[in-house]
Structure 1
Amino acid sequence: MAPLPLSTMPQHPLDAQFSYLSISYHHSLPFVTVVALNRPKKANAINAQMWKEIGDAFSHIGTTGDGCRCILMIGSGKGFCGGIDVTDEKFFSGIDCNYTGDDNSSQDVARKSIAFRSQILQMQSAFTAVEECPVPVVAAIHGACIGAGIDLTCCADVRVCSPDAKFSIREVRLGLAADVGTLQRFPKLVGFGSRVRELCFTGEDFSADDALRIGFVSRISPTKHSLIDTANDICQRISRNSPVAATITKASLNFSRDHAVSEGLEHVALHNSTALMSEDLVKSFMMKGGGAIHFEPLHSHSRL
C-alpha cells in the first residue's frame, strides 16, 4: 500500500511528462511538492527511462516559479526502491561481451570503455540533480531501499524511515562497485569508519535502527503507518521559512561538505551579501514571535 494516497493529491503540471514518477502538490501542505517513484509492481526498481525522469524532474521542480519550498520524495507500493532494474538491457548494452558485429575495433576494451563512460556520467548526473535541486528534499523511506535506492536517498537533504525499512548497498553482491554516488556520499554523511566499510564490502542488509545509529536517517517513525506524518512535520517546518534562506542554506551546506572551512565561509559570504538584502529578512524578524509569513515565491530560473 502506498504511503500517501496519490490519487487524492492535486496533479502537478510536470506530472504528465513522466511515466514512472508521480508529481503532485501536497494535499495539505501548500508549499510542498510530492515526488513518488511509481513502479509499484516492480518494487520501484529504476529502469533507464525512470532514471532519466528523476534527473528531469529534480532539474525543474523549484526552478519554474512553482512556489515549491520543499520536496517530499516517497516510493509507491510496498517499498521505497528495489534498486536498479537489472532486466532493462539499456543499462548493460555498452558492456555487452557477446557483441557479434563485423567491426573488430568495436571489441577493443579501451574503445568500449570510453564509449560506456558517458552513460555512467549521465546516470550520476540524474541523481546529482536531486542534490543540486535548490529546495530541500526530504526522503520518506519505507520497506526496501536497495542499491540505487541508497544512491538516490544519499542525494536527499533529510532522510526519515519507517521501522520496517531495510537498506543495502547491494552492488558488490552483483559483481560491481557502486558508481552512482553511494561510495562518495554515504561515507560523507555517516563517516568512513569500520561499520560503513563493512556494509559497502559485504552488501548485507541493515535495519532502520542501524540507519539511525550511524546517522543515515535522522529519525524513525513510531509506526510504518505514521511515516508520512513524521515526514510531513519536517516538510512543514522547512516550508514555513524563507525560500531564499533555505536555498542559500542548502547551497552552503553542499559546498562546505566538499571544501575547506575558509572556502565555505567565502562562499556563504558571497551569497549572503545579496540574500541579506531580501525582504524575507525583514518579514522574518517582524514575525519572530510566531505566525505565518507570506514569502514571495522564487523566480523561474533562466534557461536557454
Structure 2
Amino acid sequence: MIPSATNEAKAHHPLDAHFSHVSIRYHATLPFVTVLALNRPKKRNAINAQMWQEIGFAFRQIGTIGDGCRCILLIGSGKGFCGGIDISDRRFFAGIESNAGDDKSSSSGDVARRSLAFRSQILEMQSAFTAVEECPVPVVAAIHGACIGAGIDLVCCADVRVCSSDAIFSVREVRLGLAADVGTLQRFPKIVGFGSRVRELCLSGDDFNANDALQIGFVSRVSQTNNNLMDVANEICHKISRNSPVATTITKMSLNYSRDHKVAEGLEHVALHNSTALMSEDLVKSFMITGGAEDVNFAPLQSHSRL
C-alpha cells in the first residue's frame, strides 16, 4: 500500500490548498521534484468530476508558476493507483440523460442537439488529461495495484511509467458499453504499437499484469514491492531533475511533437527551439556535471505569462 497523501506529506506546497481530491507536496528528499497524489483512497482513487477538473488545473500550474519544479512524481494514495471513472457521480452522465439540461423546449429531446451539447464535456475531460502531456516538466507515474479505465487514460499522458509487481491494468471502457474517449485509444498504441495484442486488450477489456505491461513496453520497469516502487520512481525523478530544466523541457516538447509529425517536421521543430536553447548558460553547467561536479545550480524556469 502507498501511504495516504496526508500521512506522507513532508513539505507544504502552495497549490495544495486549492484541491480536495488530489494532494500536491514538495518531495521530502528530492529538491526539484513535486509529488502529485490522487487522493480518494476510500474510493480506490476513482475519478469523479471534481477530481477530473483538479487534475487538469494542477498540471496546468505545476512547473509554470516559478515553483522550481523539474519533474513531477504522479502516484495514487491507498491500495491502488486508480480504479477508473467514478460511475456514481451523475455529473458525468447528466448530458446524455433524456431530461438533460435546463432547456424545457421541445428541442431538448432532439438527439443531434443533445449530442452537440454533450461534446463539450468530452472535450473538457480530454483537455484535463492532455494537460499532463503538455505540462512543461516530465511526469513519472508510479503505479501500484489497480490502474483501470480512466487510470490508463491518465498514465498514457505521463512521460515515464513504472509499476509494482502487483499492478493490474485494464482498458475497461468497452465492458461498460462505450469506447474509451479520453485518450487511451489514441495514445496507448503510439506508446506500445498498433499490433494484435493492443487491439485484443482494447476490444476485450481484459486485465493485463505488470509483466505484460513491461513486455509490451507500456512500463519501463517493474518493482518487486510497493516500497521498492517508490525507490525506483525516485531514482528516475532524481536523474531527470538533475538535468538542465531548459534541456528537459525542450526534449519533452520534441518527443511529443515528433510522435505526431513527420521526421523532417520534427527536425525543424527541434532546430527552432535549440537555436535559442543552446545559448543558455545551462549548456556550460551541464558539462560540469559530466565532468564530475555533484551540485550544479541551474536557474529555475520563470513563471509562464498569462492574461
Shorter-chain TM range is over 0.9
1:232-252: CA deviations, max 9, x gaps? 000000000000000000000
Name 1:48's counterpart in structure 2.
Answer: 49
| Residue 292 of structure 1: how far off its partner (Å) | 1.9
Cα separation, 2, equivalents of 1:13 and 1:165: 31
1:192-232: CA deviations, max 9, x gaps? 00000000000010000000000000000122221100100
Cα separation, 2, equivalents of 1:21 and 1:287: 35
**Could you tell me which of 141, 144, 157 is aligned with 1:142?**
144
- The number of residues matched between the two structures is 304
* CA RMSD between the two structures: 1.3
Indicate whether 1:238 and 2:240 are aligned. Answer: yes
Equivalent pairs: percent with the same residue? Answer: 76
SS in structure 2 at match of 1:62: coil
Structure 2 unaligned runs (5+)? none
SS in structure 2 at match of 1:297: coil
Cα separation, 2, equivalents of 1:155 and 1:225: 24
Moved more, 193-202 or 2-11: 2-11
Structure 2 counterpart of 1:267, which letter? Answer: H
SS in structure 2 at match of 1:282: helix
Cα distance, 1:233–1:3 mapped onto 2, change above 3 Å: farther
Name 1:26's counterpart in structure 2.
Answer: 27
Indicate whether 1:293 and 2:262 are aligned. Answer: no
Cα separation, 2, equivalents of 1:148 and 1:92: 15
Would you say the 8 A contact 1:84–1:147 is kept in 2?
yes
Would you say the 8 A contact 1:4–1:228 is kept in 2?
no
Structure 2 counterpart of 1:150, which letter? Answer: I
TM-score when normalising by structure 2:
0.97
Would you say the 8 A contact 1:139–1:156 is kept in 2?
yes
Moved more, 209-218 or 7-16: 7-16
Structure 2 counterpart of 1:20, which letter? Answer: H
1:105-148: CA deviations, max 9, x gaps? 11101000000000000000000000000000000000000000
Moved more, 75-84 or 94-103: 94-103
SS in structure 2 at match of 1:287: helix
**Could you tell me which of 261, 273, 276 is aligned with 1:274?**
276
| Residue 184 of structure 1: how far off its partner (Å) | 0.1
Alignment of 1:71-220 (within 5 A): 71-97=72-98, 102-220=104-222
TM-score when normalising by structure 1:
0.98
| Residue 102 of structure 1: how far off its partner (Å) | 4.4
